[in-house]
Amino acid sequence: MTPIEKLRTTLATLSLTAIDARLEALLETAAKKEPSYAEFLAEVMNAEADARRQRYLKARLQLAHLPYLKTFQQFDFSFQPSIDERQISELRTLRFVHEAANVILQGPPGVGKTHLAVALAEAAIQAGQAAYFMTAHDLVADLGRAYREGRLDRRLRVYLAPKVLIIDEMGYLPLDDLGATIFFQLVSARYERGSIILTSNKSYGEWGSIFGDPIIATAILDRLLHHSTTINIRGDSYRLKERRKAGLIPLQDQPHNQPAEPPVSATNSRGKRSNG
C-alpha cells in the first residue's frame, strides 16, 4: 500500500469523509504553499469540522420544519419602508433569543411576516440554536388532539424544547375555548424561558375576537408582550407587486395601502426591553 492508500483506509475507518473527499486538493495546496506542519494540520482538520458543521446545520434546518427557506439578504427593505431597519438589526444580533424575549410581526397578507420570521429562525439556527415552525392552526390542532388523548403535558414539551418557536398566522382562524386555553398554557410555559416569534394579521385590539374571550386574550398578551418587540408592517403585498410586474393586475385594480392598526399603547408598557 502506498502512503496515500494507507491514509485513505485510515480516513475511512475514522469516518473522516470530508478530508477523504478533499485529500488531493489539500495535498496539492500544501505542496504549493508550503505551510508549517501546524498550519497544514489545522487546514486538514478544518475541512472535516466545516463539513460537520454544515451537516449539523442542515439537520437543524430540516428539524425546524420551515415552510420555505428565506434569509434577510433576500428581503427587499426598500419595498417596506414602514419597517424600522434598526429594529431588524437589533433582532439579528439574536439578543432576544438569549433573553427569551418574543417578536411579533403584524400586518396584512403578503408583506413579508413569514419571510422575516423564517429569516430570524435561520439566523438562530446558524448561531447554534434550535428553532421550530408551526402555523397557529396546526399547533392548536396538534395540542388539542394530545389533550383529548390525555397526553397534553408530554406533547407540550415538543413546543417547549426549541429556543425559538415560530407561530405563524395567528388570528386567521378564531380559536375555540379549548384552543384558547391550550394557547395560554403554551405561552405561559415558554414565558421567560424561550422566544416566540409570532406572525399575525390582527392588531392587538382585535385579539379578543381570536380567542372569543377578552380576558384570556389579555392574559396571553400580557405574557407575550412583557419582553417583546413588535414589528408592524404597513404596506403593499409583495405577492401583488410580483403579479403586477408580470402584468396580471391592471393598474386601476391595485389595492390601496391598508395601514394595520397601530399596537395599543398599553401593550409594551411593562417591558423595559420593548422597542415596538
Contact residues for Mg ion, defined by CB under 5 A: 114
Of 40 and 238, which CB lies nearer to ligand ADP in the complex structure? 238
Q: Which stretch binds ligand ADP (CB under 6 A): 23-31, 76-84, 125-133, 251-259?
A: 76-84
Of 74 and 258, which CB lies nearer to ligand ADP in the complex structure? 74
Which listed option, ligand ADP, Mg ion, none, makes contact with residue 89 (CB within 5 to 8 Å by class)?
none
- Give CA–CA dist 214/224, Å, rounded: 15
H or E segment at 160? helix 152-160
User: Pick from 175, 180, 190: which is nearest to 226 by CA?
Assistant: 190
Contact map string, positions 175 to 214, toward ligand ADP, x by CB under 6 A: ------------------------x---------------
Q: Give yes or no for residue 112 binding ligand ADP (CB under 6 A).
A: yes
- Give CA–CA dist 197/165, Å, rounded: 6
Q: Give yes or no for residue 234 binding ligand ADP (CB under 6 A).
A: no
Which H, E and C letters describe 174-190, residue by residue? CCCHHHHHHHHHHHHHH
Q: Give yes or no for residue 113 binding ligand ADP (CB under 6 A).
A: yes
H or E segment at 36? none
| Options 19, 48, 101, 115; binder of ligand ADP; rule CB under 6 A | 115
Report the nearest approach of Mg ion to the CB of residue 102 (Å): 17
- Give CA–CA dist 276/268, Å, rounded: 7
| Options 239, 243, 270, 273; binder of ligand ADP; rule CB under 6 A | 239
Q: Give yes or no for residue 114 binding ligand ADP (CB under 6 A).
A: yes
Backbone Cα Rg of the chain: 24
Using CA atoms of 139, 144, 146, 147 in order, give the dihedral in degrees to the nearest 10: 140
Q: Which residues make up the interface to ligand ADP (CB under 6 A)?
A: 70, 74-76, 79-80, 107, 109-115, 199, 238-239
